[in-house]
Amino acid sequence: MFCFQCQEAAKGTGCTIKGVCGKDDETANRMDLLLFVTKGVSVVATLLRNAGVEIPSHIDHFVVDALFSTITNANFDIESITKRIVEGITLRDRLKEEARKQAIELPVIDELVWIGDESSFEGKALTVGVLREANPDIRSLKELTIYGLKGMAAYVEHAGNLGFEDKDLHRFIQYALAETLRKDLSAEQLTALVLETGSYGVKAMALLDKANTSSYGNPEITQVNIGVRNNPAILISGHDLKDMEELLAQTEGTGVDVYTHSEMLPANYYPAFKKYKHFVGNYGNAWWQQREEFESFNGPILFTTNCIVPPLEGASYKDRVYTTNSTGFPGWKHIPSREDGKTKDFSEIIAHAKRCAAPKEIEHGQITGGFAHNQVMALADKVIDAVKSGAIRKFVVMAGCDGRMKSRNYYTEFASELPSDCVILTAGCAKYRYNKLPLGDIGGIPRVLDAGQCNDSYSLAVIAMKLQEAFGLEDINQLPIVYNIAWYEQKAVIVLLALLSLGVKNIHLGPTLPAFLSPNVAKVLVENFGIGTISTVDEDIEKLILA
């Protein structure tokens, strides 16, 4: 195996024996094969589309789900990855047949020529990994595009689950995947593809924002309970709000409570979910602390998306974890997708919860959130006055992901040591590094404004653009906003590319720069976009805030 797609890549270069995330060698290789097949599907679908043939939506959904299932710590189940490969080959061959009928000439590439019998999967998988591209700069740009597409696919899938589809996003995902197979593209052309991926990322996040807010209302300022009640309960993790809705509806009146975990915390901010009395609040912290927190939760846990940490051998919670959507883990129960027009069936996990003890309290109190664009704009006058009067010196965007590395203590320290006239804008699970600190407020405006999940970074971009308009500035970079973003997996990659495509400069990305950036590609990002990484808290506060 060779995988370098996330921030925890071994030795800062790539995992080669086993993933730091827990992904084993064989599953990693199988994911490479799934991407290989998905690229083949995308090449034929793109050629057919260019010839005016309409591509059925099940092809779009296959591509998005395949990409999503290869995101860091989403799926550890080799069998479910293998099933996707088999399905992909069938779809590819049907598309090839259609191309033949339309007299469309197909390129002679391995992704289309390989027959794909199951007995050859293991051997074939060894030959189709990222190192197949020998040129490190070309590899870097292609992988940067693919990781952006994986993040985008996640957001497109969530929007789709709420009935919001944009054919153009599917077209782009497949087109861009197909482009990564071309051998004739220069580094400049691939850089343009990376940025185009970023602008489609903005569209994907805007679509998901529309899907979430029109389905569940605009997030509003909310005090979220972090303590527990004395009823059996289900813990729901991940990002999928449709699952949240259906789980709340199906648990109502059953005596089973519902708590959010990690990236699902922002579900507490939506008016449509607040009406449920058995929706208690949030339990625990960011994804990487789940081994301890799932033990003490006592009840079943539902993963609607990443981030799964494989349990230790003796973990007591092993038989009470469920996956759904693109996620999977060997031995865990998988709740099947909803059939058209029907809701998902959560009866098994609800029955399971009834047999369990109530959660053990690990924290007590409340945290504040709900500052997506609509809520912040409702406070616009107050915010603008505070900036004009100098009460707010700077906004610091500290969105993104949390992770296990010790070096991430930097973010807690950075937040604590920020001058008291600075406000943190956050989204994603990075917030758990500072959202329980007593940072206070500035004239009633909390010093940590949480917009929501990582995809709600879109809200932060909208807020920036609205402030730019309100202050009459020509360039978004003239705003008193600095960016000190933490990343872990590929959804953070699409957020980064989206910000770059909006013209945001001087983003600090940490705790380390991606292993998949070759020195030359990193240089381009530094020279053209002022991308940097973190140093010490004091130095960075000096550079970003005081200078």
Q: Which residues 313-332 are close enough to bind ligand FSO by CB under 6 A?
A: none
Partner in contact with 401, chosen from ligand SF4, ligand FSO, none, beta carbon below 5 to 8 Å by kind: ligand FSO
306 binds ligand FSO (CB under 6 A): yes
Asked if 21 touches ligand SF4 (CB under 6 A), the answer is yes
Q: Please tell me whether residue 64 binds ligand FSO under the rule CB under 6 A.
A: no
Q: Provide the minimum distance between the beta carbon of 304 and ligand SF4 in the complex, in angstroms, as a whole number.
A: 19
- Rounded CA separation 366/438 (Å): 11
Q: Which stretch binds ligand FSO (CB under 6 A): 55-63, 126-134, 346-354, 483-491?
A: 483-491
Q: How far apart are CA 283 and CA 294, in angstroms?
A: 9
Nearest-angstrom CA–CA distance, 504 and 202: 13
487 forms part of the interface with ligand SF4 (CB under 6 A): no
| Rounded Cα gap, residues 297 and 205, in angstroms | 32
Answer yes or no whether residue 129 interacts with ligand FSO by CB under 6 A: no
- Ligand-binding site membership of 429 (annotated): yes
Write each residue from 416 to 455 as x if it is in contact with ligand FSO (CB under 6 A), else as -, in one continuous string: ------------xx-----------------------xx-
Residue 39 backbone phi and psi in degrees, to 5:
-65, -40
Of the ranges 20-28, 190-198, 323-331, 538-546, which one interacts with ligand SF4 (CB under 6 A)? 20-28
Q: Which stretch binds ligand FSO (CB under 6 A): 183-191, 464-472, 486-494, 502-510?
A: 486-494
d(CA 509, CA 535): 11
Q: Single out the segment in contact with ligand FSO by CB under 6 A; choices: 313-321, 439-447, 462-470, 487-495.
A: 487-495
3 makes contact with ligand SF4 (CB under 6 A)? yes
- Cβ count within 10 A of residue 82: 18
Least Å distance, CB 141 to ligand SF4, is 18
Q: Which of 287, 297, 303, 411 binds ligand FSO (CB under 6 A)?
A: 287
Burial class of 86 by CB neighbour count within 10 A (0 to 12, 13 to 18, 19+): middle
Phi, psi of 346 (to 5 degrees): -100, 15
Q: Does 8 bind ligand SF4 (CB under 6 A)?
A: yes
Does residue number 326 form part of the binding site for ligand SF4 (CB under 6 A)? no
Q: Kind and range of the H or E element at 409?
A: helix 409-417
356 labelled ligand-binding: no
Pick from 281, 365, 49: nearest CA to 177: 49
Among 258, 396, 397, 401, binds ligand FSO (CB under 6 A): 401
Choose the one of ligand FSO, ligand SF4, none that binds residue 19, judging by a C-beta under 5 to 8 angstroms depending on kind: ligand SF4
Which option in ligand SF4, ligand FSO, none does residue 491 bind, with CB closer than 5 to 8 A by kind?
ligand FSO
- C-alpha span between 126 and 128 (Å, rounded): 6
Q: Any contact of residue 488 with ligand FSO (CB under 6 A)?
A: yes
Binding residue count for ligand FSO, defined by CB under 6 A: 15
Can residue 325 be called a binding residue for ligand SF4 (CB under 6 A)? Answer: no
User: Binding to ligand SF4 by residue 459, rule CB under 6 A?
Assistant: no
Amino acid at the residue 314: G
242: number of Cβ within 10 Å: 22
Q: Is 262 in the site for ligand FSO (CB under 6 A)?
A: yes
Bridge partners of 483, per DSSP, are 397
The DSSP code for 511 is S
Q: Give CA–CA dist 221/368, Å, rounded.
A: 7
Q: In angstroms, rounded to a whole number, what is the distance separating the alpha carbons of residues 281 and 3?
A: 36
Preceding amide of 454 cis, omega within 30? no
In degrees and rounded to multiples of 5, residue 107 shows phi and psi of: -65, 150
Q: Tell me the number of residues near ligand SF4 by CB under 6 A.
A: 13
Beta-carbon contacts of 284 under 8 Å, excluding residues fewer than 6 positions away, are 235, 261, 262, 290, 293, 297, 362, 363
Query: Does 496 participate in binding ligand FSO (rule CB under 6 A)?
Result: no
Provide the strand spans (E) within 106-253: 222-225, 233-237
Nearest CA to 142 out of 517, 542, 407, 529 is that of 517
Q: Which does 463 bind (CB under 5 to 8 A by kind): ligand FSO, ligand SF4, none?
A: none
Q: Look up residue 420 and give its two tokens.
A: 């008291």
Q: Rounded distance, CA 160 to CA 432, Å?
A: 28
280 binds ligand FSO (CB under 6 A): no
Distance between CA 298 and CA 98 in Å, rounded?
52
Told to check if 9 binds ligand FSO by CB under 6 A, we report no
Known binding residues for [4Fe-4S] cluster are 3, 6, 15, 21
Residues that bind ligand FSO (CB under 6 A): 239, 262-263, 287, 306-307, 401, 428-429, 453-454, 488-489, 491-492
Tell me the binding residues for hybrid [4Fe-2O-2S] cluster.
239, 263, 307, 401, 429, 454, 489, 491
Residues that bind ligand SF4 (CB under 6 A): 3-6, 8-9, 15, 19-21, 23, 28, 72
